[in-house]
Amino acid sequence: MTTDPVPDLTIPLSVADAQVLGDDVGQLAMRLGAVLHGLAQLRVGGASTEDLATTILMSDGLMNRLAGIRDAAVRQHAAQGGSYGALAGAMGVTRATAQSRRNTLLKKDPSEMEKWATGSS
């Protein structure tokens, strides 16, 4: 059995989007690359403790940023009058769960990662 070589990972991003994101593009790509490498090492059973520590660090940082992006999107969805039903569909949860999550989020000030996501930190 032969396998095709895996191509380099390409993330389609317009020049305008890349300019808005600035240095964050490289930081996110670096974290994602490290997490994917760690995942590969976990699957083949070849992860050293150093690999595992890097995977934990990078995945934690990536998850924090993704949570900030999600929370910023939910907050802006609410500000633009988005429905609970549409939010539930996007989140893959019931309408009641989406309503509860959004209402809980809106009661709090934006987190540092949410501010980072909107570029206001």
The whole-number pLDDT of residue 9 equals 74
- Report pTM: 0.85
The whole-number pLDDT of residue 121 equals 79
The whole-number pLDDT of residue 11 equals 83
The whole-number pLDDT of residue 5 equals 63
Walk along the chain (121 residues) and give the pLDDT tens digit of each residue: 456 666 677 888 999 999 999 999 989 989 999 999 999 999 999 889 999 999 999 999 999 999 999 999 999 999 999 999 999 999 999 999 999 999 999 999 999 999 999 999 7
- CA distances (Å), origin 59, targets 15, 30, 64, 97, 101: 26, 11, 8, 26, 23
Instruction: Report the chain's C-alpha Rg in angstroms.
Output: 18
